[in-house]
Structure 1
Amino acid sequence: MTTHQLPRSDDQLRVVALEVADDLGDVATVRAWADRLLADLPDDRRRVAVWVAEELVTNALLHGEPPRQVRLLRRPGWLCVEVDDGCLDTACVRRSGGGGLRAVAAVSVTWGQWQRSTGKTVWAEIVTPV
């Protein structure tokens, strides 16, 4: 796994990215990475954000295709977790199974996805303290 920080577009937005290998074992690495980067958040908000990152990465590993990347985008009072994968299929809330996206929707302000010619990005926004 490779991590890198993307250049800031302004002083308010911070973007940090982590490449995710094609291995469910990397979910633990994503968990530790997000937990470390979000250590300044109150425990309840940090736990929610880390769980959302884990869930979106797990979905990308189980249902998506490489390459995969997770990003944390932050500015005061706002956090967005984005996960890219190379699968063109739309992410969907399933009626049965783990219910991951349904749970992500329940703890997020909003969530969604962008389709790209090379795959998709699934994202979730979380309110954080200013």
Structure 2
Amino acid sequence: MPIEQQTTHLDDSLRVLALEVADDLAELATVRAWAERLLQDLPEDQRVDALMVVDELTSNALRHGKPPRQVRLLRKRDWLSVEVDDACVDPACPRPPSSDGGHGLKLVAAMSASWGQWQRPTGKTVWAELDLTRAASPGHPR
């Protein structure tokens, strides 16, 4: 079972919440529930987008990365960053969609203002930023 780390208040406007994720795809349900609880104050369309980003980045880390893994939500009033660490040094790369996958990073790109990754000698962090100032729009992709 994942271990939730304590909230770190870096200043009055930024909250960092972290969750250690075990090496098991069944952890996705736990990560989803954790993120849903922490993001329950967002309007539904923004919460759905944010949860999809959390789910896709975590799923990729579990399927293609190596332990240890950690999911972080960095949040200010009008901004959310989702970061997922894993110990695989191979970069996260979009692949052509097929019946067995390849849609995740395209969904992340569609739901977020920007995404990318930081490589480290011991692994990588894949991140996505969401703009929480945008109003709900009927044409917003889901």
TM range, smaller chain = over 0.9
Give the letter aligned to residue 75 of structure 2.
Answer: R
Q: State the identity %.
A: 62
Shift of residue 24, structure 1, vs aligned partner: 0.3
What is the root-mean-square deviation in Å for CA atoms of aligned residues?
1.2
Count of aligned positions:
130
- Structure 1 pair 110/63, CA: closer, same or farther in 2 (3 Å)? same
Shift of residue 102, structure 1, vs aligned partner: 1.1
Shift of residue 54, structure 1, vs aligned partner: 0.7
Which has the larger strand fraction? 1
CA distance in structure 2 between the aligned counterparts of 1:129 and 1:32, rounded to whole angstroms:
24
Shift of residue 26, structure 1, vs aligned partner: 0.3
**Where do 1:40-119 residues align within 5 Å?**
40-96=41-97, 97-119=101-123
Give the letter aligned to residue 60 of structure 2.
Answer: N
8 Å CA contact retained: 2:53, 2:128: yes
Q: Looking at CA atoms only, which structure, 1 or 2, has the larger radius of gyration?
A: 2
Q: Gaps spanning 5+ residues in structure 2: where? A: 135-142
Match of 2:131 in 1: 127
8 Å CA contact retained: 1:41, 1:129: no
Q: Gaps spanning 5+ residues in structure 1: where? A: none
Shift of residue 6, structure 1, vs aligned partner: 4.4
Q: Report the TM-score, using the length of structure 1 for normalisation.
A: 0.96
Give the letter aligned to residue 26 of structure 1.
Answer: E
SS for the counterpart of 2:6 is strand
CA distance in structure 2 between the aligned counterparts of 1:5 and 1:21, rounded to whole angstroms:
17
Q: Point out the more displaced range, 6-15 or 64-73.
A: 6-15
